[in-house]
């Protein structure tokens, strides 16, 4: 199973991961133009600060609380890849924000509004999806300090 | 191994799913009074307002039973438990034997003894059936009244308003969401609903529902009548504890369970709205009554039923997320502080204009409650600090700052994994 590993001590806080995340999840593919899109693309990785900058991003938990909290059933952990996402399932996100309430890392956000152009009736929760359409997540590719990397972790069901 | 689960909502369905994962060979049977696959009770308002179809409420998909190889018996009531001989007697006359039994019987609307409650056009708002009844009535209704401004009542009111029906909510207390929010947070949500066209009448009790024959309005104690072609009664819920009670198991307001989710009887577990919990933030015993708790309890009960001990303790009764119109809100733990000095409680709050309000309630250096209205980003992180009883004294000066985040604990414990209620009290001290 894939997971994002964070080696925060080398982080300089350049925020290229945030820009790359926005671009990768925008319609235009550009962070600059994404700001003008409706709804505005938002970053799913966050440069926060303690002593220094720390990227905070979804851990794709073994037993994700966002999944347990989801009243629509759309937030799921893929049994094969381990990726936790509310997109691409039979059940649809209706923007109830239970996942935002449940996520201990505070890395799930509400989308600005329903996206009628995409036929959406509801605002939706947005979070890291590990960039399913790319070989390497955009944030990992963009990081000049190799703070972020994709690692393979054992299937959690084996250690349950 | 034969597992029997009574109820197919959040707790029952989750337990079935986890039992299947834990025991691929087990015989798992769900018995539910309702018809159809498990549906999300929290989403019925979106069916009532026409945005979702019934099949879009199926939170485990339409073919859950086949996918998980469950025996799924719907439209059948369990009438009695014979704990000594380990079986249940059903309304269809069948007796079903179990090795381990889970009672996930949920809750039902509690309706006060208002004159006229039996009239045609008076509907509660708790089930898919209720939502369908409201949707059907809404085709012709022009006016509606909702009694009770809790979550269910406001969800109903919002759905009716979305359908263009002139809707009035009547609430006995001085604020909406009296059990979930404080007055300041509630006022913001109230304005949001009013902008949607919902009329809200506070501090007013209902004298009766007006007839004759079918509902035509609601009589208030000391205000003019509210005209209504449709009356939704949403005055709270009560746990379905009778099955356990009649079997002689320990019950209070709900079914009593141990920290393994076991009832006072061997081989019988209970989870979800039917049980009561000891709230870790207030110390009070209360009905469980939230989707999130029900799912976690269903999961933990499944592990215990399968002989894989998992302790469920430190539960929190108030964990709510809501957005009716434009303003999102989250409340968590002890949000109301009745007597600050006596309880040695400290309150931090912050407002941005009239749209954003954030409040933290602190006790002994730990956060025990929060209200976030208008800006709910990172609320889950604060929720984790509450659940894990983390000492935040060192961060007291910046708890509501924008840059207070999980980063301060990065490299530390994995908050979200496996034991959401594990006490991490020593973490930051």
Domain residues of chain A, as ranges?
Answer: 2-149
Q: Report ipTM for this prediction.
A: 0.95
Flag if B330 and A100 touch (Cβ within 8 Å). yes
Q: In 3D, which of B112, B289, B130 has the Cα closest to residue B209?
A: B112
- Mean pLDDT for B57-76 is 97
pLDDT tens for residues B122-169?
Answer: 999 999 999 999 999 999 999 999 999 999 999 999 999 999 999 999
CA B368 – CA B360 distance, rounded (Å): 8
Lowest mean pLDDT, pick from A11-15, A119-123, B237-241, B381-385: A119-123
Percent of chain B with pLDDT over 90: 86
B420: nearest CB among A46, A65, A123: A65
Domain with CATH 3.50.50.60 in chain B: 2-108+237-305, 122-233
User: Residues of A with CB below 8 A from B303's CB?
Assistant: none
CA A45 – CA B323 distance, rounded (Å): 24
Please give the CATH superfamily to which domain B2-108+237-305 belongs: FAD/NAD(P)-binding domain (3.50.50.60)
CATH number of A2-149: 3.30.70.20
Residue B429 predicted with pLDDT over 60: no
Q: In 3D, which of B13, B28, B30 has the Cα closest to residue B74?
A: B30
Average pLDDT score, chain B: 93
Cβ–Cβ contact A69 with B under 8 A: yes
Q: In 3D, which of B421, B319, B427 has the Cα closest to residue B370?
A: B319
Lowest mean pLDDT, pick from A5-9, A11-15, B172-176, B260-264: A5-9
Residue B330 predicted with pLDDT over 50: yes
pLDDT tens for residues A37-77?
Answer: 877 789 999 999 988 999 999 989 888 999 999 999 999 99
Q: In 3D, which of B329, B327, B328, B349 has the Cα closest to residue B337?
A: B349
CA A136 – CA A132 distance, rounded (Å): 9
pLDDT tens for residues B5-39?
Answer: 999 999 999 999 999 999 999 999 999 999 999 99
Q: Does residue B42 carry a catalytic annotation? A: yes
pLDDT tens for residues B83-128?
Answer: 999 999 999 999 999 999 999 999 999 999 999 999 999 999 999 9
Chain B, residues 278-317, CB within 8 A of chain A, namely 291-292, 295-296, 299
Residue B413 predicted with pLDDT over 70: no
Q: For Cα atoms B91, B95, B97, give the angle at the middle one, nearest 5 degrees.
A: 135
Residue A160 predicted with pLDDT over 70: no
Q: How many CA atoms lie within 13 A of B112 on its CB side?
A: 13
Q: How many CB atoms lie within 10 A of CB B198?
A: 26
Per the model's pLDDT, the better-predicted residue between B416 and A9 turns out to be A9
> How near does any CA of chain B get to the CA of A135, in Å?
27
State which fold the B122-233 domain adopts.
Answer: FAD/NAD(P)-binding domain (3.50.50)
Most A-contacting residue of B321, B325, B332, B399 (CB-CB within 10 A), to test interface: B321
Residue A34: its pLDDT value, please? 83
User: Residues of A with CB below 8 A from B44's CB?
Assistant: none
* Number of Cβ pairs < 8 A linking chain A and chain B: 144
Mark out the alpha helices in B163-318 (DSSP H runs). 183-195, 242-246, 291-305
Flag if B61 and A97 touch (Cβ within 8 Å). no
Cβ–Cβ contact B328 with A under 8 A: yes
Query: What is the four-CA torsion angle of B406, B407, B408, B409, rounded to 10 degrees?
Result: 60
Flag if B383 and A69 touch (Cβ within 8 Å). no
Q: What are the beta bridge partners of residue B331?
A: B320, B371
CA A53 – CA B413 distance, rounded (Å): 19
In terms of CATH architecture, what is B327-409? 2-Layer Sandwich (3.30)
């Amino acid at each position: 199973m894939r997971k994002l590993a964070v080696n925060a001590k080398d982080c300089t806080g350049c925020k290229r991961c945030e820009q790359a995340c926005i671009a990768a999840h925008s319609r235009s593919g550009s962070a600059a133009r994404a700001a003008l899109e409706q709804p505005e693309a938002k970053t799913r990785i966050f440069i926060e600060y303690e002593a220094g900058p720390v990227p905070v991003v979804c851990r794709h938990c073994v037993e994700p609380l966002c999944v347990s909290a989801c009243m629509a059933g759309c937030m799921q952990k893929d049994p094969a890849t381990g990726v936790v996402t509310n997109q691409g399932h039979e059940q649809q996100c209706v923007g109830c924000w239970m996942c935002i309430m449940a996520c201990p890392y505070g890395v799930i956000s509400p989308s600005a509004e329903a996206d009628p152009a995409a036929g959406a009736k509801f605002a939706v929760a947005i979070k890291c999806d590990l960039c399913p359409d790319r070989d390497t997540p955009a944030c990992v590719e963009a990081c000049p300090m190799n703070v972020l990397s994709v690692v393979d972790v054992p299937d959690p069901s084996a250690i349950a | 191994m034969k597992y029997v689960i009574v109820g197919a909502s959040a707790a029952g369905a989750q337990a079935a799913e986890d039992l299947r994962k834990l025991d691929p060979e087990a015989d798992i049977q769900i018995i539910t009074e309702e018809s159809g696959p498990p549906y999300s009770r929290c989403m019925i308002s979106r069916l009532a307002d026409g945005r979702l179809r019934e099949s879009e409420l199926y939170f485990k998909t339409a073919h859950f039973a086949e996918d998980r190889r469950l025996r799924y018996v719907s439209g059948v009531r369990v009438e009695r438990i014979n704990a000594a001989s380990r079986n249940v007697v059903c309304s269809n006359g069948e007796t079903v034997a179990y090795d381990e039994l889970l009672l996930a019987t949920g809750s039902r609307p509690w309706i006060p003894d208002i004159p006229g409650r039996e009239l045609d056009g008076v509907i509660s708002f708790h089930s898919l059936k209720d939502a369908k009844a409201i949707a059907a009535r809404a085709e012709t209704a022009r006016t509606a009244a909702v009694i009770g401004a809790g979550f269910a009542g406001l969800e109903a009111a919002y759905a009716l308003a979305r359908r263009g029906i002139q809707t009035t909510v009547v609430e006995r207390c001085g604020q909406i969401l009296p059990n979930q929010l404080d007055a300041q947070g509630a006022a913001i949500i109230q304005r949001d609903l009013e902008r949607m066209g919902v009329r809200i009448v506070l501090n007013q009790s209902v004298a009766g529902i007006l007839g004759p024959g079918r509902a035509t309005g609601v009589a208030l104690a000391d205000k003019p009548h509210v005209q209504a072609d449709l009356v939704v009664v949403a005055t709270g819920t009560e746990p379905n504890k009778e099955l356990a009670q009649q079997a002689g198991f320990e019950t209070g307001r709900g079914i009593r369970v141990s920290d393994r989710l076991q009832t006072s009887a061997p081989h019988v577990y209970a989870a979800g709205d039917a049980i009561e919990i000891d709230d870790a933030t207030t110390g009070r015993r209360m009905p469980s009554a939230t989707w999130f708790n029900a799912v976690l309890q269903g999961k933990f009960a499944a592990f215990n039923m399968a002989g894989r001990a998992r302790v469920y303790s430190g539960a929190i009764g108030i964990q709510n997320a809501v957005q009716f119109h434009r303003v999102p809100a989250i409340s968590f733990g002890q949000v109301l502080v009745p007597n600050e000095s006596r309880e040695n409680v400290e309150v931090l709050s912050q407002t941005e204009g009239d749209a954003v309000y954030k409040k933290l309630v602190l006790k002994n250096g730990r956060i025990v409650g929060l209200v976030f209205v208008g800006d709910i980003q990172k609320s889950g992180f604060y929720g984790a600090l509450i659940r894990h009883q983390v000492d935040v004294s060192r961060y007291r000066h910046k708890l509501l700052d924008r840059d207070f985040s999980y980063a301060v604990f990065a490299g530390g414990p994995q908050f979200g994994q496996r034991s959401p209620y594990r006490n991490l009290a020593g973490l930051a001290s």
